[in-house]
Structure 1
Amino acid sequence: MGIFTEAYYLLLIFWRNCFPAGNFKAEDVPDLSGRVAVVTGGNVGIGWETIKVLLQRNAKVYMASRSRHKAEAAIERLKTETGKEAIFLELDLGSLASVRRAASEFLSKESELHILFNNAGVMGPPLDQLTSDGLDLQFGTNVIGHHLLTKLLLPALLAGVRSSPDQHARVITTSSSGAMIGAIDFASVRDGPARRKYTKEALYAQSKLANAIQARELAKRYGGEGIVAISADPGSIETDLQRYYRDVPGIVGVLTHLFLKTILRPAPFGALTQLWAGTMPEAINHNGKYAIPAARIAPCRAEAYDDELGKRVWEFLEEEVREA
């Protein structure tokens, strides 16, 4: 891709974030009685707001989070605000062993899953931070951990298809506008010289493009069995995801703070697009697509629709989660 193409994508990101369209509201989410949902990373930010709406619409919701202490505090706050109680599911997406334990625990309690929100993510950690399996923390958490979780929960999702009123189960993966400037380099997923040549921002963008590809490939493989997979850009949202950028020293930190204050929107807004994708009847007509704020379908970058690249990404993920 040339410099003019990349400039076009940057301008598109700016436009979409500064001027989001659509009139979808949380109040538009239909009644979800009888539906079972899992939200990863649901103890803060967009995930918490997503769970809040799901509970208000009578879904049974599992909050899949790493910290029991933080999750229990979040569950208590949700109970106060909604009168409903989410269920804690211990999950560390940065550990494939933890993902396997979480999936096993869920399947021991539930035979059906109707909505899986692959919502959790990490953005901009120090380059020295890796997953417990030696993977880039951002790609390992945002992409590989979610790939394994989805794979292991597929039996419950397929059972959810049969009991869902619309005969579909949904897998909604939180991507980002970063997908628009991402590029896939398989050599950068594990630590080494190939990874160290990238900035943490570039590695984040790679993971978010991979999320968009991941959703499209899941739709291609399981759409015929009733699985709807959509990737969702929540917009530029004020959440704990920016924690690695809040303490940047000097003028760069000041400018970063001012920029974020200018474009960031509140967490409830960030939940809208994935709630639309995960619950609204019309969303089943957009399998494999990329949704942007607020609750509308739009193109991702061209690489997200490259069938050969998609096949390579899927095969790479399958290999990474294969048990020795």
Structure 2
Amino acid sequence: MANKEKVLITGGAGFLGSHLCDRFLAEGYHVIAMDNLLTGSMDNIEHLMGRSDFEFYHCDVSKFVHVPGELKYILHFASPASPIDYLKMPIQTLKVGSLGTHNLLGLAKAKNARILVASTSEIYGDPMVHPQKEDYWGNVNPVGPRGVYDEAKRFQEAMTMAYHTFHGVETRIVRIFNTYGPRMRLNDGRALPAFISQALRGEDLTVFGDGSQTRSFCYVSDLVDGIYRLLLSDHPQPVNVGNPQEITIKQFAEEIIKLTGTDQKIVYKPLPKDDPKQRRPDITKAQEVLGWEPKVERSDGLKVTLEYFKEKILKGQQAPA
């Protein structure tokens, strides 16, 4: 196992990070997952513990990062990613996007490793351009409640490009749009886990605003494939990875009710401040540069995700009080 190339994945016990661990192990790498478990869970990587080609470091990358030996790749996915988390942990969110990114870029420079950082569609803010292309600079409120996440990611991109242009570090930037699949948290706060959890518990589904705002949902295996292709490409500029199939939140809630076979109503609540009205990636660059586009139909991905949530809710109900 000593001759396997090593990959460091920060946020490795999170939703996306754990799926990336699976992919890189399947591709024959030695994987080091790093997480402070603020929003990640050991449950997500429990199936990997004990493998000789997998290590877990309990570490806060905002403070200090040390990995002995050689590193081939670094994937920086450590960050609270849902509004419920970054509104509760604004300082940690800003720190992991700034100090954490700085630490990992420094590690990449020291190890002569290629680094891919996880950016987000949120850098476009509440967009004035639709669909969103990589050359759109965004419409972001830096002092609004979502600013802590949006600006952390925008700073992260700027810092990453500075290390690329000034130090010659091999960098890649992926702008991730709404993603779903197994290992999302039940209390994640985002539309999909909220709707499925509410439907399975027999509660009415909560839609914020009038439900006309749109999102585009990409299944996790498609996203991971896009990230993997970007890492191995020679493209240092940001690339959108997401599913351009757009749906309104109201339609999505209706889809979940139909999928779960429940008869819940939809209840409407005020739209949170600065909530984006439209979200759809232009993936022309990913198609041209990476030869990538999503393959999993939403109906198929939702079935798999629903089964995962059913199991989690059942486990929670069976757990001792």
Q: TM-score range by the shorter chain?
A: 0.5 to 0.7
**Aligned CA-pair RMSD:** 4.0
Question: Do structure 1's residue 140 and structure 2's residue 95 form an aligned pair?
Answer: yes
Counterpart in the other structure of 1:178 = 122
Structure 1 segment 138-217 matched on structure 2, within 5 A: 138-156=93-111, 158=112, 169-181=113-125, 198-217=143-162
Match of 1:231 among 173, 178, 187: 173
Provide the C-alpha distance between the structure 2 equivalents of 1:126 and 1:53, rounded to a whole number of angstroms. Answer: 26
Match of 2:58 among 77, 90, 114: 90
Counterpart in the other structure of 2:80 = 122
CA displacement, residues 1-58 of structure 1 (integer Å, 9 cap, x when unaligned): xxxxxxxxxxxxxxxxxxxxxxxxxxxxxxxx73111001111321111111100111
Q: In structure 2, do the counterparts of structure 1 residues 73 and 127 end up closer, same or farther at CA, with 3 Å as the change threshold?
A: closer
Q: TM-score, normalised by structure 1?
A: 0.56
CA displacement, residues 177-217 of structure 1 (integer Å, 9 cap, x when unaligned): 111239xxxxxxxxxxxxx9833223322122222222211
Contact 1:245 1:253 in 2 (8 A): no
Structure 1 segment 285-304 matched on structure 2, within 5 A: 286-287=235-236, 289-293=237-241, 297=285
> More strand per residue: 1 or 2?
2
> More helix per residue: 1 or 2?
1
Q: In structure 2, do the counterparts of structure 1 residues 242 and 265 end up closer, same or farther at CA, with 3 Å as the change threshold?
A: farther
Match of 1:41 among 5, 8, 11: 11
Which blocks of at least 5 consecutive residues in structure 2 are unaligned? 127-140, 243-282, 287-321
Q: In structure 2, do the counterparts of structure 1 residues 120 and 237 end up closer, same or farther at CA, with 3 Å as the change threshold?
A: same
C-alpha displacement of 1:228: 1.3
Structure 1 segment 68-107 matched on structure 2, within 5 A: 72-78=42-48, 85-93=53-61, 96=62, 99-100=63-64, 103-104=65-66, 106=67
Contact 1:64 1:90 in 2 (8 A): yes
C-alpha displacement of 1:262: 5.9
Provide the C-alpha distance between the structure 1 equivalents of 2:210 and 2:34, rounded to a whole number of angstroms. Answer: 30
Q: In structure 2, do the counterparts of structure 1 residues 69 and 216 end up closer, same or farther at CA, with 3 Å as the change threshold?
A: closer
Aligned positions, number: 219
Q: In structure 2, do the counterparts of structure 1 residues 175 and 257 end up closer, same or farther at CA, with 3 Å as the change threshold?
A: farther
Q: In structure 2, do the counterparts of structure 1 residues 70 and 242 end up closer, same or farther at CA, with 3 Å as the change threshold?
A: closer
Which blocks of at least 5 consecutive residues in structure 1 are unaligned? 1-32, 159-168, 183-195, 299-324
Q: In structure 2, do the counterparts of structure 1 residues 241 and 268 end up closer, same or farther at CA, with 3 Å as the change threshold?
A: farther
Secondary structure at the counterpart of residue 32 of structure 2: strand
Contact 1:236 1:264 in 2 (8 A): yes
Contact 1:117 1:171 in 2 (8 A): yes
Secondary structure at the counterpart of residue 233 of structure 1: strand
